[in-house]
Structure 1
Amino acid sequence: MVSSAGATSNARDPVDGPAWRGRTTLGKLLETLGPLVLHLEFAPHGDDVHVGEPVIHDLGERVQDQADGVLLIVGGAPDDDATLDAIKQAGAARYATVVLKARGRDLAAAAQTAQEADIALLVAPDDMPWRHLDALITAAAAADPGRDSYASVGVGDLFALANAIAYSVGGAITIEDPQGHVLAYSNLPHQHIDVTRQQGILGRMTPDRPTNDAHYQRVCRADGPVRFKNPDPEHSPRLATAVRAGPQVLGTLWAIDGTPPLGEGAAEALEEAAKVTALHLLRARAHRNPDRWSRVEALASLLDGGTTGRIAATQLGIAVDTPTCVLAIAHTPDGESSGLRSARIVDLVSLYCEAWHPQALCTTAGDLVYALIPTRTDPRAHQRVTKFAEDVATTVHRTAGLVLHVGIGTPSLRLDEVPAGRRSADRVLRALAADVDQIRVATVDEVRSRVLLLALAERGVATIDLPPDPVARIIEHDQQHDTAYAQSLLVFLDAFGEAARASSELAVHENTLRYRIRRIQELFALDLDDPDTRLVTWLRLRMCQFGPPQ
């Protein structure tokens, strides 16, 4: 709900502010940070108003004076009295805008209060840390990304930024996207680069190495810089850190610890550089393809439940009551770098989605690709989505040689239901992964039993706080004595106790299987004549296939 007063007589009068006041406007701030960081809910004077320094506000305290400031309202829901009072105070103190989090609540009261207070209202994702948001807004609003050493770097000039970081950190730098594409690199003449870095620069992609996946995952999960020691003379030690906007990984920074070696403060310098790089990557995204990046980031936030359906509808350009379906797409292991696979898959799937519907959209989360598909509500909608998913898997396999699993989520009648659809698609995908050589595309209905087993395994339903059960003892016995009791018992129960059928599947003589079953009952006091015992034993054995026994 963006409101803009067209008449200039409504604009705020100029006021004295910080020395760097006026270097950016609300519109430029939003363009730089994008919908992944901020959504404009209400603007009484449009977005061509100056914004200045962010101020973190604790509810219950008096709002401090900060002309043209950006008030970050921490801790309250948008319809709390304390939040509404802070908005009123901010308007009286001549702030440019306030920022709050929806937290699943209606924004109508906050928007109405902002309108009465004559102040703009911005909404941040619920999972965006306030300290991170403060750093991003400070960098964007001041048009001075962080430290003095970066002040001369134009926002979005990644190659100049890489050189500035290399100078600050003391080692050659590459800036990469989450899939390992080299976006920019430093070229300071006195800093050594190794063979791997040379290949990455030439191919604009990190060369495939056996440790790539583990290294990238470690960097993206760490809270700060990570060091990697490499004995290979062609691959020098490295210091790396993730570049984030809130929980979203925008890219990574990699510094070579070679000749000269990195100094004592290199980790701190790289961590500081990551904050600056986040601003540059957000700006670079916006300028490459502003509409697509905006929608992709909005989709990622919607899938995670970080934004409301109403806000996502504005950002995605579709009605909030549009029926949709989420597809979760994963590749089967084939030895290729996972980052490269995901990058290739999302490009191919995006083309197919755009052919299906102009408002269909794809995004990535780790190694997974997600597609949001607008659908219809007629009885054949299910068949059409399934056929589309099968065509996607077939096309990607034919054109790229990649084998895909596609989990089809439960249909969503409104955008607010999309996060639930994503969770159901994830469950289907996990169920498909349990049988790699079986079906490749499925809905919840088609793998419902396996989805239920996975849910039970996750919740530990069959592993409550009791002494070790016979199944746990059977598995322990197999590990210690190299027996196959657990497998034999599961196949026997799967076959409804038909020894001939089970022995055929196990490739053993029928009498051998009968002997094993008798020994299992004797050794572990297992009464298979009892129906409850048979059910619980089978359930425990099946769930142990999805993870270690608890």
Structure 2
Amino acid sequence: MDTGEGVARSVTPAAASSAAVGTLRDLLESLGPHTLRLVGGDRARLARPAGEPVVHGPDEPIHDVAGAVVLLTGGSSDPAEVTDRIRQAAAAGASAVVVKAWGRDLGRAVEAAREADIALLCTPDEMAWRRLDAFVTAAGAARAAVPGEAGGIGDLFGLANAIAASLGGPVTIEEVDGRILAYSNLPDQEIDEIRRLAILGRRTPERPGDAAKYQAVIAAQGPVRFASSGPEYADRMSVAVRAGHQVLGVIFVLADRPKLVDDAERALLDAARSVALHLLRSREAVSPERERRGDALRGLLASSLDAASAAAALALPARASFVLATVRPVASELRAADAARVRDLITLHGEHWHPESAAVLEAGDVVLLLPVLDPPQDDRGQARLAARLRRLGTDLVTAARRSAGVELVVGFGAVVDGLAAVAGSRPLARRVVDTLLDPRADPPHGGVATLHDVRPQVVLACLRSGAPIDEDVLRLPAVRAVLRHDADQGTDYAGTLLAYLGSAGSVAATARALGVHENTARYRVRRLTEMFGVALDAGDDTLVTWLQLRNAVRGPRGARG
């Protein structure tokens, strides 16, 4: 006996209207006869909106369901009761009702639907009501995810049909655990029993070796083919759906019912990129948590939200360490759809770094806040963190180029302690990006740089603009190491370096300035490069080294080195 799994949900007319993002015809075409079919009512009624699904049990009143698709649960309901519930749903403004036949004649229900002027839909007896509810909801949410965009990329079921048509075989779009997100429904493409059960159960049936197959798809860089386990089953081809390093899902296509097109592997790779864009938009559309974090970051940057309040909104400790990234399109303006996709990519990559990261659009840039759980304690730690940030930025740039055709540059600022210091670190992250886009600069690191990579260029940019310089943050690691060694060991490598650079690299002049033998001066200069990594002929690096040492040390002191 079907007990109507789940609890009845009511929906106000306004909610139903907002959920009505397609028609009943759209819904039937998306889900197909394996899930829903029209059994009663004029087909003209299919032009009505398909609103939110509303589940109702046998003894529950039906009201306030304008535009909704009402699921009439109850497997042993008396036919007279079913017809009465159909009339109630019509009177309450529903667009359609869904019943199960349970092997009996639906004549009385069909007649009641005709008289009540409502569409009567039927779902297979083995379809669980909670799964049908999820399918109808997913079809509506997918269609609404990118409203008004050409090509219907917001409709995941329609996208599955488009992929199936281009490949020549039935398609499912799944999460990595086998849950079905959408499937194709083209009349000339036959499915096998596994696919039918997957549609009915909204999940691929578990069979030995399935987990290994999914892992093989995720690990592969391209499509993977799987031979059938018997003549009654179809061969399959699959590919992972990715956004940069992040796996969003998988696509499976039946490969021999009929045989796929000749360039199926290339077409499947193209399809994966389209599905990635859709899934990114869908994630954003259903994630109020992202909006909450974005609002908190916006307030923090504008100094309209204090650190304690921001920490509560971000679910992060106020005294943790953080780094800000500035992400900027190379083109001055982006289409609205491209801007939305880029924002989604940035948010997704930030969440891969830490689930409580936050992103917000500010003055044409996307600002990304990244928690740093293991803040560097020394220059080596800074270098390791810079390498990790560069990998994140490179993945993001690559994903934006492949998925949205957009070129980005990404700049990471300094690590700061506590949310209270985040707003003050924003200018440095912006200056890193400015350096990457400066036509006078050396070729950028693939459009990605950290403050660690371009600190000399940032120092010079601050000097040109007259902006204040934070000596502690912007001091070069080599300069810091020299000054620390001199203070700890009583040496004067700083004086040696100033004398050497001040004499345009003349060892003889350096020796005279220090009052030492030329061999001693030469030894000290060599030790500067060996011990501290001082760059003596590196343009901006060398100039900034001299400037910072000159500010810290007022000329050579003649001490030992």
Decide: shared fold, TM above 0.5. Answer: no
TM-score normalised by the chain length of structure 1: 0.35
Bigger radius of gyration: 2
TM-score normalised by the chain length of structure 2: 0.34
